[in-house]
Amino acid sequence: MEECPFCRIVKGDLPSQKVYEGERVVAFRDIRPQAPVHVLVIPRRHVGSLLELGDADGDLAGELLLTAVRVARQEGVDRDGFRLVVNTGWRSGQTVGHLHIHVLGGRIFRWPPG
């Protein structure tokens, strides 16, 4: 767990551009942005993926989602539209094993995703 890059970001051991800091949730800019706005919303606590959320984590799950919407508003992409992505497992493209919601905006997105 010590090696988890997002736990290191939460602790401040790894620098990041934070855009929101709550008691349980943090949001920071993606290091390799895939859109003009690309922010990651994560729980402070290490949770490996959506699959590790338990029945007692409803409030945390809601807070993560509401924070993603707050960030979209804050970044000014709410009116034109934005996309939330939660890759879960390697086949989906998850590369960091700490739950994160991608908030993507500022350009047009296609469907289906790649």
| Structure tokens given for 72 | 């979209």
Site membership for ligand 5GP, residue 90 (CB under 6 A):
no
| Structure tokens given for 92 | 């989906």
Report the distance separating Cα 45 and Cα 28, nearest Å: 15
Cα 54 to Cα 68, 80, 110, distances in angstroms: 20, 34, 32
Q: For the CB of residue 58, give the shortest distance to Zn ion in the complex, in Å.
A: 20
- Binders of Zn ion in range 55-114 (CB under 5 A): 98
β-pairing verdict for 82-85 and 37-43: unpaired
- Binders of ligand 5GP in range 47-86 (CB under 6 A): none
Q: For ligand 5GP, how many residues bind (rule: CB under 6 A)?
A: 14
Binding site for ligand 5GP (CB under 6 A): 5, 14, 16, 28-32, 40, 87, 93-96
Binding site for Zn ion (CB under 5 A): 4, 6-7, 46, 98
